[in-house]
Structure 1
Amino acid sequence: MRTGDEILLDQASGEEAEMFLDLRNLKHLVRHGEGQRLEFKMKVKFPEKIVKELVAFANSDGGHLFVGVSDDGNIEGSKFVDEDQFVLEKAISTYCFPAFTYHVYRIPLENGRSVLVYHVFESIDKPHFVQLDSEPNPVCYVRVKDRTIQASKEMKQILRRENEEGLTFAYGAHEQWLMEYLRLNEQITLAEFALQCKLPIWLASRKMVLLVLSRVLKIEPGENQDHYSLR
């Protein structure tokens, strides 16, 4: 069942967001802390790190980033809101690709400051990447609960192909073993599946990706390894 906060975030979209997320609604959301679709940043000190959160929202269910709110929920606002917006949007255009859709606006506070709000929409052009000067390769990020994590090779394939039609997979002995295993166990990793079925990792990966895309399995991305379970 969806929470009231999720309904509130769904309603706050596009031009409607500026009217809907006023200070009262902001306080309500912040009280519940960071989550799958909420991230707080007190300052835009390291914009190259903040864009990872935005890309993760675009690759997942969308979300809101509040600049001027501390991790513990203290709403102080941004003292230099124009500068923060300029720096962050420059970082988005410099480090993120392909472009994703977002709406930015401000919520004024009683202290004369404002909270800068970035509402990122779930993308139809996944996956999105961050390419920093300090990293040799672009990195894809996804949102898992209140964390932003690097997507695995399998997760990137799933994001890229999630709207693909006409997918088929062979239901052989390995798939049968996997179904039986998951009826008795909550989840399994790619490495465990490959080991138990004596499969090369590339083949096990291909089978897992197809089963997720066919909506037989669901994937829970992890920092070290993903976990798969029956849908």
Structure 2
Amino acid sequence: MSKGIFQIIQEGEGLTVEFKRTIDSPFKIAKTLVSFANTAGGNLLVGVMDNGALLGVGSELRELEKLEKATRDLIEPQILIRIKSELLDGKKLLWIEVAESESKPHYAVNERGDRIIYIRVKDKSIPIPRLLLYGDGDTETEKLLSNKHVKTLITYLKETDSVTAKIFSKIINISEKRAERMLHDLAARQVLLKINRGKPEAFSLKWAK
């Protein structure tokens, strides 16, 4: 039994670990591989459920074909991955290792042919605009990102899952109305993601440096 893979499963999904029951499509897997390469590298385990239960892969060949299509046709520039076949409790699993890339950013091509940069934020693969990685966007967004209140918010959201206008207003000591306007502005500029459209509205970080 491989101690390495067992430990990864025990620790659960996170910044550098993702479980898949099966590879749904080359497009979806390209997104995950790219997000690992663009962030801190990671391990993709196929044949494992979200809760860590072992399912095993039905056809290793079918999974490998989808992986090959993803790495060959749907990731630009191409990335190198390491694929290992593991047997755990009588179940066959695929362990795909992705190193953090030295030639970021990598793009994943979606079904419509769009090229999108993905990064890992906690245990999710999140799309981001290039400008947030390299600051080569419009000056308004750059100005916003250098604002001390926004910097405080980003630091807070790296530690906490989400924020509301009420919490944000208390953190930086401004009116709730002004805090709400800032959160909406940041969401419009693709810095934040609106995760709760009810009341109160909640926002999470869409990117991380």
Normalising by structure 1, we get a TM-score of 0.60
What secondary structure sits across from 2:153 in the alignment? coil
Quote the residue 1:187 is aligned against: 153
CA shift in 2, pair 1:138/1:126, >3 Å: same
Q: CA RMSD in A?
A: 3.4
Match of 1:64 among 34, 43, 65: 43
State the SS of the aligned residue for 1:25.
helix
Gaps of 5+ in 1: 1-21, 161-173, 206-220
Amino acid at match of 2:70: A
Counterpart of 2:101, as a letter, is S
Question: CA contact under 8 A between 2:193 and 2:206: conserved in structure 1?
Answer: no
Within-5 A mapping of 1:91-102: 91-102=70-81
Report the CA distance between 1:98 and its aligned residue: 0.3
Q: Which residue in 2 is equivalent to 1:114?
A: 92
* Cα distance in structure 1, aligned partners of 2:192 and 2:38: 15
- Give me the whole-angstrom Cα distance separating, in 2, the residues matched to 1:61 and 1:188: 19
Alignment of 1:128 with 2:94, yes or no, is: no
Cα deviation, residue 105, structure 1: 1.0
Contact 1:55 1:130 in 2 (8 A): yes
3-state DSSP of counterpart to 1:186: helix
Tell me how far apart the structure 2 counterparts of residues 28 and 178 of structure 1 sit (CA, whole Å).
41
- Decide which of 122, 143, 152 is 1:145's aligned counterpart: 122
The corresponding residue for 1:83 is: 62
Q: 1:84 Cα shift?
A: 0.9
User: In the alignment, residue 139 of structure 1 is paired with which amino acid?
Assistant: I
Aligned residue number for residue 131 of structure 2:
154
Q: Per-residue deviation at 1:130?
A: 1.1
Matches of 2:66 and 2:53, distance apart in 1: 23
Would the alpha carbon gap of residues 88 and 188 (structure 1) be closer, same or farther in structure 2, given more than 3 Å must change? closer
Distance, in Å, in 2 between the alignment partners of 1:156 and 1:90 is 27
Equivalence for 1:104: 83
Q: Give the percent of matched residue pairs that are identical in Structure 1 and Structure 2.
A: 28
TM-score of the superposed pair, with normalisation by structure 2: 0.65
Cα deviation 1:112-167 (Å, max 9, x = unaligned): x42111100101111100112324x2111000110110013432425x9xxxxxxx
Runs of at least 5 residues in structure 2 that lack an aligned partner in the other structure: 137-142, 156-177, 195-203
Q: Which has the larger share of strand?
A: 2
CA shift, 1:28, in A, is: 2.3
- 1:65-95 CA distance string (max 9 Å, x none): 0011111111122121122112211222111
Q: Which amino acid aligns with 2:24?
A: K
Would the aligned equivalents of 2:121 and 2:207 in 1 still touch at CA under 8 Å?
A: no
Could you tell me how far apart the structure 1 residues matched to 2:49 and 2:93 are?
Answer: 11
In terms of mean alpha carbon deviation, does 49-58 or 124-133 score higher?
124-133
Equivalents in 1 of 2:110, 2:94: separation in Å? 23
Query: Counterparts in 2 of 1:22-61, with a 5 A limit?
Result: 22-61=1-40
Q: Which amino acid aligns with 1:186?
A: T
2:98 aligned partner, one-letter code: V
- Matches of 2:87 and 2:7 in 1, distance apart? 16
Find the aligned partners of 2:207 and 2:22 in 1 and give their Cα distance: 36
